[in-house]
Amino acid sequence: MKRLSWKLVLLLIILSIGVYTILYLIFSDPVYYHYLMSVGLALVPIEMLLATLLIERGLKERERRALLNKLNMVFF
């Protein structure tokens, strides 16, 4: 399982480098390129926060359903 996650991380990094390289070749403006990089880096904490909140909400819902399922087994 860990190998798959490292492969996924490596794939995403390579994909990111590829996208930034294509953008650099299209626009050929270092200032715009650095602007894109800084905006991308600035949005990472917000994306992590949203992903964490969504995953936490999903886990709480799964835990609630499991608890209700156990309670239904006890009462019926």
Listed in sequence order, the DSSP H helices in the chain are: 2-27, 30-75
Reported as a pLDDT band with limits 50, 70 and 90, residue 62 is very high
14-60 pLDDT, tens digit per residue, is 888 888 788 778 878 778 777 877 788 788 888 888 888 899 999 99
Looking at residues 55-75, what average pLDDT do you find? 89
Reported as a pLDDT band with limits 50, 70 and 90, residue 1 is very low
Amino acid identity, position 45: P
- End-to-end CA distance of the chain, in Å? 38
- Look at residue 44 in the predicted model and tell me its pLDDT: 83
